[in-house]
């Protein structure tokens, strides 16, 4: 049934509301009914396409990360290690990562934020499976349990996420931007961000929670702008050009800027803290931030039944727990092994010792 919004002042607002009422539709009552019937699949074909894009994108990202890790391991075993950026294999991993991120980007144009964002757990669990299978990492009981819980959570998320079909146009985005819900939300985020940034910059407080909260706040703007840009591109492909509206380029700039600053704070967190701690906490913070952004900005849980929301949140909890178990106590030496190989340190093998003595002798002669 169509969701009718209250009338607003002005022709532009009225046109936006009309467009909302036409393009913002729900399936069965509530945000999702969790049914596996044929009717459910027919209603959610577009959403399932977005889910497929997100899952494939995250799996490709997992493969790309392991290819880059394998490239580092190969380079570390060479007699004369080269910089990683000169490795064709490493660049192949980077290319695959770009493909995976493109799939994630496109997924936001076909499915709600609250459905796509939690699927990031696929990348974490997929990476662990690939590491065990191809890089011969140790298989732990917590890996099996974590992967099982993540898959169970993903199943619940797909079946109980918002069951809505929303065409994102430029006028729709403009209408949401001036909504009182979003204005209160973004002002609150700006205040929190400024306070945390003050403690980070002025007081030198670099606690992981502070850094990852800054990342999560920026992530909320990222997912809002990514869905807006992806949705307007998708809408334009339906012969309803949206790229001529200034709002498209405004959201594009917000998307790029928020991504850049996210990387800055996330890199700082990974430098100061163990990756096995940063990864699950960042996944949880990012997912919660993205879900809140989708609920407030795009109103994705409007009309949702309590039981549906509860099961959806339980699915999120299972995916969080799965990611935590997969990354828990995973030794950091697996990451460092890409850069340090004691067999290749000078003077630890006869060949390297001879090489060092020869070169040191040449350098000494040169400067005398």
Say yes or no: 74 and 146 in one domain. yes
256 domain-assigned: yes
Q: How far out from the chain centre does Cα 301 lie? A: 21
Calculate the alpha carbon distances from 111 to 39, 54, 196, 216 in Å.
Answer: 18, 10, 32, 21
Say yes or no: 329 and 265 in one domain. no
10 domain-assigned: no
327 domain-assigned: yes
Residue 106: its pLDDT value, please? 92
Q: Which residues contact 341 (CB under 8 A, 6 or more apart)?
A: 76, 77
43 domain-assigned: yes
**Is the distance from CB of 287 to CB of 120 less than 8 angstroms?**
yes
Say yes or no: 154 and 177 in one domain. no
Say yes or no: 81 and 205 in one domain. no
2 domain-assigned: no
Say yes or no: 77 and 174 in one domain. no
**Is the distance from CB of 132 to CB of 138 less than 8 angstroms?**
yes
312 domain-assigned: yes
Residue 46: its pLDDT value, please? 84
Considering 275, 299, 323, which residue would you say is the last residue of a domain? 299
Say yes or no: 295 and 306 in one domain. no
**Is the distance from CB of 327 to CB of 150 less than 8 angstroms?**
no
Say yes or no: 90 and 145 in one domain. yes
Considering 254, 278, 299, which residue would you say is the last residue of a domain? 299
Q: Please name every residue paired with 164 in a beta bridge, in sequence order, or none if there are none.
A: 26
Q: How far out from the chain centre does Cα 345 lie? A: 37
**Phi and psi at residue 164, to the nearest 5°:** -125, 155
Report the interhelical angle of 88-107 vs 45-76 (nearest 10°): 160
Say yes or no: 151 and 240 in one domain. no
Check residue 4 and report its DSSP letter. P
Considering 243, 278, 299, which residue would you say is the last residue of a domain? 299
Q: What is the pTM of this model?
A: 0.76
Say yes or no: 111 and 140 in one domain. yes
How many domains does the chain divide into? 2
Say yes or no: 308 and 262 in one domain. no
Per-residue b or e along 314-329, where b marks 16 or more CB atoms closer than 10 Å to that residue's CB: ebbebbbbbbbbbbee
59 domain-assigned: yes
Distance CA 89, CA 97 (A): 13
Check residue 26 and report its DSSP letter. E
Say yes or no: 274 and 306 in one domain. no
154 domain-assigned: yes
What's the burial of 133, exposed, middle or buried (CB within 10 Å: 0-12/13-18/19+)?
A: exposed
Task: Output the six-digit token pair for 305.
Answer: 């039944």
Task: Reduce the DSSP state of residue 168 to 3 states and report it.
Answer: coil
Taking only the tens of pLDDT, the chain with its 368 residues reads 333 343 333 444 445 444 444 444 444 444 454 545 566 566 678 888 999 999 999 999 989 888 888 888 888 887 777 777 788 888 898 899 899 999 999 999 889 999 999 999 998 888 888 888 887 778 888 889 999 999 999 999 988 987 777 788 999 999 999 999 999 999 999 999 999 999 998 888 889 999 999 999 999 999 999 999 999 998 898 888 999 999 999 999 999 999 999 989 998 898 888 877 888 899 999 999 999 999 999 999 988 899 999 999 999 999 999 999 988 876 544 444 433 333 444 444 455 444 444 444 444 433 33
Residue 132: its pLDDT value, please? 82
Distance CA 250, CA 224 (A): 12
Distance CA 15, CA 18 (A): 5
| Domain range for 30 | 25-166+302-333
Say yes or no: 125 and 273 in one domain. no
């Amino acid at each position: 049934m169509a969701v009718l919004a209250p009338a607003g002042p002005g022709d532009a607002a009225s046109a936006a509301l009309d467009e909302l009422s036409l393009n913002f539709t729900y399936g069965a009552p509530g945000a999702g009914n969790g049914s596996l019937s044929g009717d459910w699949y027919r209603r959610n074909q577009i959403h399932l396409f977005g889910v497929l894009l997100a899952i494939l994108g995250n799996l490709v990202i997992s493969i790309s990360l392991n290819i880059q890790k394998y490239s580092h391991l190969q380079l570390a075993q060479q007699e004369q290690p080269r910089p990683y950026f000169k490795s064709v294999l490493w660049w192949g991993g980077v290319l695959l990562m770009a493909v995976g991120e493109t799939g994630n980007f496109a997924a936001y144009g076909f499915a709600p934020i609250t459905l796509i964002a939690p699927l990031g757990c696929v990348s974490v669990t997929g990476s662990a499976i690939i590491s065990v299978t191809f890089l011969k990492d140790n298989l732990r009981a917590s890996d099996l349990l974590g992967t099982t819980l993540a898959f169970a959570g993903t199943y619940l998320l797909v079946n109980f996420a918002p069951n809505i079909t929303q065409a994102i146009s430029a006028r729709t985005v403009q209408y949401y931007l001036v909504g009182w819900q979003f204005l209160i939300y973004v002002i609150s985020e700006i205040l929190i961000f400024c306070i945390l940034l003050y403690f980070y910059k002025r007081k030198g407080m670099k606690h992981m929670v502070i850094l990852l909260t800054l990342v999560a706040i920026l992530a909320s703007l990222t997912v809002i702008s990514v869905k807006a840009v992806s949705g307007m591109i998708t809408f334009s492909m339906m012969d309803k050009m949206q790229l001529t509206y200034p709002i498209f380029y405004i959201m594009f700039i917000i998307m790029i800027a928020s991504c850049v600053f996210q990387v800055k704070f996330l890199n700082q967190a990974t430098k100061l803290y163990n990756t096995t701690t940063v990864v699950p906490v960042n996944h949880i913070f990012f997912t919660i931030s993205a879900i809140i952004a989708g609920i407030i900005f795009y109103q994705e849980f409007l009309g949702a039944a309590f039981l549906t929301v509860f099961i959806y949140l339980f699915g999120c909890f299972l995916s969080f727990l799965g990611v935590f178990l997969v990354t828990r106590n995973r030794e950091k030496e697996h990451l460092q092994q890409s850069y340090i190989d004691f067999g290749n340190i000078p003077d630890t093998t006869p060949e390297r010792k001879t090489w060092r003595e020869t070169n040191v002798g040449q350098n000494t002669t040169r400067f005398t």
